[in-house]
Amino acid sequence: MTKTPLTLEGLETAYDALATAIDRAGPDRSELFLVKLALLQAQALGDAREFQKQVDAALQDL
Amino acid sequence: MHTPTTEARPSIYYNYEVFKPWLASAHPEQARQKVAIAGSGPAGMVAALELARHGVPCVVLTSELQFSQGSRAICFTRRSMEILQQVGVADRMTEGGLPWRFGNSFYRGQRVFRMEAPHDPDDRFFPIINVQQQYLEEYLHDACKANPLIDFRWGNKVNAVLQKDGYAEVEVDTPEGPYTLETNWLIAADGGRSGIRTAMNLPMEGASYEGVFVIADIRIDLPFPTERRAYFDPEWNPGNTILMHREPHGIWRVDYQLPPGETPEDALRPESLKARIDAQLAMIGHAGLPWEMDWSSVYSARTLTLPDFVHGSVIFTGDAAHLLPIFGVRGANTAFQDAQSLGWHLAYVIKGLAGPALLQNHSTERVGAAREIIEEAGKSTRFMAPPSRGFRILRDAVLSLSLTQDFVRPLYHWRTSRPHEYSHSALNCPGDDNALFKAGPAHGAPPQNVRLGVSDGVSADEKDFLLDHLGGGFDLLYFTDSALPAALQQVIEQARTRGLPLKVTAVGAPYVVAGAQQHLPDADGHLRQRYGVPANGAAYLLRPDQHICARWLTLDAKRLQAALSHALPKL
């Protein structure tokens, strides 16, 4: 797991990549796509507790 | 008046025998029984055979006049076979059964996971063997019939149970009308829909899942090996799961989930069954292959257990005590372990070798096992039949990822039924050397089987295993090549004088040694290695269900006495 946060430029790239991918997946498939992505990220993170923190953060202010 | 059908059940591969009902008028007045067992499924009959093995007679009351309809349970685990070996039917199971160890999960035509169950050369039995339940019941019934301590009563239906002071009064209905049976203990082995549990209004803890599955046994000639096949989200049944198993006698089990909202009645209509089975056959590349239906039924997944199996004079066992989902073959396989455990715990209480605390220990251990199974089976069930939108989306995401990503594939593996380890059992000896061992089965664990005599030139088909030599009471494995110390022999003798069956096996002795009933040479030291025994003087104490309750690197008379007293609480 890398401790270095994304640069603003990197975050913007991720932002665009995610938006484009959601559009490519289409409204019926975007949820499936996002969950697949989340599982890949959880695996890359390699830390179930850290992942839970991210789940909790994402659940806020919906 | 109870009138069970006298017409043989239909089957395309099994000839049902219709037995004669047991009628009270044909028998002399009966004294109060020690044990009556309601139900003659796998749990009831194994309980009867185990009780008889420990010298306790019983009456088996069974409502119908024949074995169960359809094959129901088909997959039996290694531990189940070890238990069935103890009651004398493992050879017949092996003869007619199909052993296997691989499972396959398919998604979009690709095999995305292959389960390989380990098969240790030290194991006599395969991880799983497929046998139809009617055959299992026939083998168990033959064993019951041959046992003079078992009074088997076909056509005897338990109508009502009245708990009295220290015994139960059971109203039993028969084709000539009801009679009353008094019994000190009543074992309720009357299955998932237990009438006794319902009448006693006992709540169960756990969850029920909504997914409904059809289970169908068909005769068909499919060119697949005996392996489990699971198909996820196929085009003909979107979002749902199909399971297939080979059974003996040219039969295949097809098990498929129904779309939400469909009623069991609709699902079991012949046209509906035919359309779906044909669709499944087409998907696996065998469209149009002829097949014939034997039996079909529906079920839904439940993970429920009674929080206590002992209620006054009534003891629940098997499906009557808990309802477990089939994923992971947990029904009958759990029932065997329940019944084996109940057999010796109850027998020892009846024989006065221990107090009622021992029976409470049975309940605590087996409720613990049921809860552990529920925890594990819940995970499998949530994958196989997702109970909510969230679980469904995650499952679908895993299916999709599994086509390219290795790391999600193990999620397909539902944990198969395994013996519970009673690690925290009250019977485990607190002052032994359990923690000092570096290998071997620990406190509460089932025994590790070991192939014997390999270095003595025993031929490959002449198989001899440790568990072939154990059982029927407490077993002491004492590692030695010479006579047992006199003080140790004295403690063993004293225990036997009190009526405790305690068999001593000298391991590492190539000849008869004083104080041991049998000896195993273990010339190559393989058994000692698997049991983590570094030197002579070590020992393992096995309970009558073969689970370990004490082990020592150095055993002496005092330590053995302490372990025996601890395993048999007097209160």
Interface touch A36/B393, C-beta < 8 Å: no
Asked whether residue A62 is assigned to any structural domain, the reply reads: yes
Residues 6+ apart with CB under 8 A from B331: B73, B319, B324
Which chain A residue has its CA at the smallest distance from B402's CA?
A: A36
Q: Which of B392, B393, B395, B404 best probes binding to A when mutated, by most A CB atoms within 10 angstroms?
A: B393
What distance in Å separates the CA atoms of residue B73 and residue B253, rounded to the nearest whole number? 10
Taking the Cβ of residue B233 and every Cβ of chain A, the question of whether any pair is shorter than 8 Å is answered with no
Amino acid identity, position B323: L
| Burial per residue of B237-259, b for 16 or more beta-carbon CB atoms within 10 angstroms, e otherwise | beebbbbbbbbbbebbbbbbbbe
Chain A residues in contact with B401 (beta carbon < 8 A): 36, 39-40
**Quick one: closest CA in A to B391, which residue?**
A35
Rounded CA separation B258/B355 (Å): 49
Secondary structure in 3-state letters for B1-51: CCCCCCCCCCCCCCCCCCCCCCCHHHCCCCCCEEEEEECCCHHHHHHHHHH
* pTM for the predicted model, two decimal places: 0.95
Q: B393 and A43 in contact by Cβ < 8 A?
A: no
A29 Cβ under 8 Å from any chain B Cβ: no
Q: d(Cα B522, Cα B180) in Å, to the nearest integer?
A: 55
Strands B98-100 and B128-130: antiparallel
pLDDT for B366? 98
Residue B565 CA, chain-centre distance (Å), reads 28
Q: Do A31 and B393 touch (CB under 8 A)?
A: yes
- Give the residue on B whose Cα is nearest the Cα of A44: B407
Decide: residue B91, CB within 10 A, 0-12 exposed, 13-18 middle, 19+ buried: exposed
For residue B337, the number of C-alpha atoms closer than 13 Å in the C-beta half-sphere is: 27
Residue A2 lies in a domain: no
Q: What is the pLDDT of residues B361-408, one digit of tens each?
A: 999 999 999 999 999 888 888 898 888 999 999 999 999 999 999 999
Q: Rounded to a whole number, what is the distance in Å from the CA of A32 to chain B's nearest CA?
A: 6
Query: Does the distance separating the beta carbons of A43 and B397 come in below 8 Å?
Result: no
Cβ contact, residue pair A32, B397, below 8 Å: yes
Instruction: For CA atoms B387, B389, B394, B400, give the dihedral sign.
Output: positive
Distance, CA of B50 to CA of B339 (rounded, Å)? 8
Q: Where are the beta strands (DSSP E) in B78-204?
A: 98-100, 102-107, 110-116, 128-130, 150-154, 157-163, 168-173, 179-188
Shortest distance between the Cα of B232 and any Cα of chain A, in A, equals 16
Residue type, B28: P
Residue A21 falls inside a structural domain = no
Q: How many domains is chain B partitioned into structurally?
A: 1
Q: Is residue B407 part of a domain?
A: no
* Interface probe, candidates B233, B388, B405, chain A, greatest A C-beta count within 10 A: B405
CATH number of the domain residue B544 falls in: 3.40.30.120
> Is the Cβ pair A39, B398 closer than 8 Å?
yes
Beta-carbon pairs below 8 A across chains A and B:
21
pLDDT in tens, chain B (571 residues): 999 999 999 999 999 999 999 999 999 999 999 999 999 999 999 999 999 999 999 999 999 999 999 989 999 999 999 999 999 999 999 999 999 999 999 999 999 999 999 999 999 999 999 999 999 999 999 999 999 999 999 999 999 999 999 999 999 999 999 999 999 999 999 999 999 999 999 999 998 887 889 999 999 999 999 999 999 999 999 999 999 999 999 999 999 999 988 999 999 999 999 999 999 999 999 999 999 999 999 998 889 999 999 999 999 999 999 999 877 788 999 999 999 999 999 999 999 999 999 999 999 999 999 999 999 888 888 898 888 999 999 999 999 999 999 999 999 887 777 889 999 999 999 999 999 999 999 999 999 999 998 765 555 567 899 999 999 999 999 999 999 999 999 999 999 999 999 999 999 999 999 999 999 999 999 999 999 999 999 999 999 999 999 999 999 999 999 999 999 999 8
**B357 is a domain residue:** no
Specify if B320 maps to a domain: no
Number of domains in chain A: 1
Contact criterion met (CB below 8 Å) for B425 and B444: yes
Owning domain of residue B474: 434-567
In this structure, are strands B241-247 and B518-520 parallel, antiparallel, or unpaired?
A: unpaired
- What's the DSSP call for residue B377? H
Structure tokens at B163: 């708990």
CA B76: distance to chain centroid? 8
Residue range of the domain that includes A59: 28-62
